[in-house]
Structure 1
Amino acid sequence: MLTFELNGQRYNKKAHATALAQKLDGRSLGSIEFKRGNISAVMLSLGYPYINGYKPRSNFQAMLVTEVEAQLSADVALQESVQAAVLRPALSMTAENVQDIWVPAPRVPVPKVSRSKPSTGLREERPEYTPRFIARQRDYLAQEARNRSLGCAGELFVADLEARRLHAAGQKTLSERVEHVAATQGDGLGYDVLSFEDDGRERLIEVKTTSFGQLTPFFVSSNELARSEHDADRYQLYRIFEFRANPRVFRLLGPINTHCVLDAVSYLARLAG
């Protein structure tokens, strides 16, 4: 199904789930949907996008990771489809209806691997970070994050969005001062777009763009994190998701680490001496 989705082909989730339920005696459609949510969480942990509509659910078993890895490794068509999706250049676009693109920021638990029998409850707890030694052939989400065309298109989308917001609020002068600073001044400021509140106060916007689902993880730099803490009252992170098909945005206000669990994925190492 993910291959169909990435290639823009139509498919029927319900029909697929119904056919699967017939092969699994005693399994309800609800239990299949729940398990697909577990699979979505595993997909993200392996650097893959997940099928739209199957919200990632934590507390998956380690054996599920092994099985999903095996299925992904054998599915060459899926690998090629994901690779093409994350590398595809993005075209600049503007929102047709500004009000329709805003959604509330999601609040979800952190994926957790269970090495014991699965719980019968659905309560999901936020765990302490522990290393997870999961082999990845490719981290497609990291590749998408490095797609400069996509990142720039998302930043321009937000700059246009902000200018239109201010203009609609009667702040024409402020709308003309919205600046795509990542392009005009360069990287390193810790944010991408300089905008303004209706009263003239600065709004520092970091833009994170994905073509995939709302719960796709994103990467932040130490500089962006520091800026969000230093200018907490002015800093906002705009997360754009499903950018190519149906772009929508949610906002995270202030320090990034108050909204997100941060996992260190790399360090800059200097020789000690």
Structure 2
Amino acid sequence: MAEVTPWSREEVEAIVADYLHMLTLEYSGQHYVKAQHRKRLKGLLQGRSDASIERKHQNISAIMLELGCHAVPGYKPLSNYQRLLFDVLTERMAVSRELDASAEAAAKQPAVKPLEPDFETLLADAPEATGVGVREQPPEYAGRRLAVKRDYLALEASNRSLGKAGEELVVSYEHDRLHRAGKRRLSERVEHVAVTRGDGLGYDVLSFDLDGRERLIEVKTTAFAKETPFFLSRNELALSRQEAEAFHLYRVFAFRRRPQLFDLPGRLECQVPDDCEQLF
């Protein structure tokens, strides 16, 4: 039988506290087991099912992304959350110095390309809905965003070390992809253009399809889950429109643990075009 009793403030406070604890551990690179957290949490709730708890975790993920923060990996964003959940979450974040410090440190942490990545398992399916551009938040909550100290998604996106490491991984992947397909000469022509020609081209890596056509690859890298939103500049968006047949956006995710990427080929649309130009 479906649960119909609204979550009480005590229950919401309990699940928010547990979620932020997991996120702080994630930011800090510390191990945690979600099943253990859920088992402990159930003792604080009023007979909530595992499915109900999972949905509430997903609701929190949706709010976190709207606030410019990362979400706990594995809890895919789910909108249509109760206002009480938003209120409690922003209240807790406004006073959580530990979360703020760990999030800022994680966003700024340097990165290097893995020495021997597993290229055969690097490519993943794209998520059903990909966040492009600024996260929009419900207008009725617009004034509450001030409770969040920083936009951690934007802060990580400006991490040049992480961005360069992701680009270098893609360069190596493209060499390997073409070489394994028997296209050695094309493989040798792969170029890290963000380094050799500058970063104003609207793409980072020049590669090729198997038939020799150019592949213009823009790379976006995060240390977090594949659902993490990313940003586009106006230049990148324009290039995806002008060179739709050649343009690819490679989203590299989970970079610090087990990096993978998904490919978004062709024309991309920005959710908030007026804000794109200020991001990169």
- When normalised by structure 1's length, the TM-score is 0.86
- Residues 51-200 of structure 1 mapped to structure 2, 5 A cutoff: 51-94=72-115, 96-108=117-129, 132-133=142-143, 134-135=145-146, 136-200=148-212
Contact 1:171 1:198 (C-alpha < 8 Å) held by counterparts: yes
| Structure 2 equivalent of residue 4 of structure 1 | 25
- Tell me, in whole angstroms, the C-alpha distance in 2 between the residues paired with 1:5 and 1:245: 11
Contact 2:193 2:205 (C-alpha < 8 Å) held by counterparts: yes
Q: Which amino acid aligns with 1:201?
A: R
Instruction: Determine which structure has greater relative contact order: mean sequence separation of CA pairs < 8 Å that are 6+ residues apart, divided by chain length.
Output: 2
| Structure 2 equivalent of residue 26 of structure 1 | 47
Q: Specify every segment of 5 or more residues in structure 2 that has no aligned partner in the other structure, as ranges.
A: 1-21
Q: Which amino acid aligns with 2:223?
A: S
| Structure 1 equivalent of residue 275 of structure 2 | 265
Q: Which amino acid aligns with 1:164?
A: D
- Tell me, in whole angstroms, the C-alpha distance in 2 between the residues paired with 1:88 and 1:11: 20
- Tell me, in whole angstroms, the C-alpha distance in 2 between the residues paired with 1:237 and 1:6: 26
Q: How far 1:191 moved relative to its partner?
A: 0.5
Q: How far 1:94 moved relative to its partner?
A: 4.9
Contact 1:94 1:157 (C-alpha < 8 Å) held by counterparts: no
**How large is the RMSD of aligned CA atoms in angstroms?**
2.2
Whose helix fraction is larger, Structure 1's or Structure 2's? 2
- Tell me, in whole angstroms, the C-alpha distance in 2 between the residues paired with 1:27 and 1:200: 56
- Tell me, in whole angstroms, the C-alpha distance in 1 between the residues paired with 2:97 and 2:156: 19
Contact 1:59 1:112 (C-alpha < 8 Å) held by counterparts: no
Q: What are the Cα deviations for residues 123-147 of structure 1, in whole angstroms up to 9, with x where unaligned?
A: xxxxxxx994432320011011100
Q: How far 1:3 moved relative to its partner?
A: 1.4
Q: What are the Cα deviations for residues 209-265 of structure 1, in whole angstroms up to 9, with x where unaligned?
A: 0001111110100000000010000100000001111101000010011xx634643
Q: Which amino acid aligns with 2:48?
A: R
Contact 2:206 2:214 (C-alpha < 8 Å) held by counterparts: yes
Q: Specify every segment of 5 or more residues in structure 1 that has no aligned partner in the other structure, as ranges.
A: 116-129, 269-273
Q: Which amino acid aligns with 1:6?
A: Y
SS at match of 1:240: strand
Identity fraction in percent = 48
| Structure 2 equivalent of residue 40 of structure 1 | 61
Aligned residues: 252
Contact 1:194 1:205 (C-alpha < 8 Å) held by counterparts: yes
Contact 2:231 2:276 (C-alpha < 8 Å) held by counterparts: no
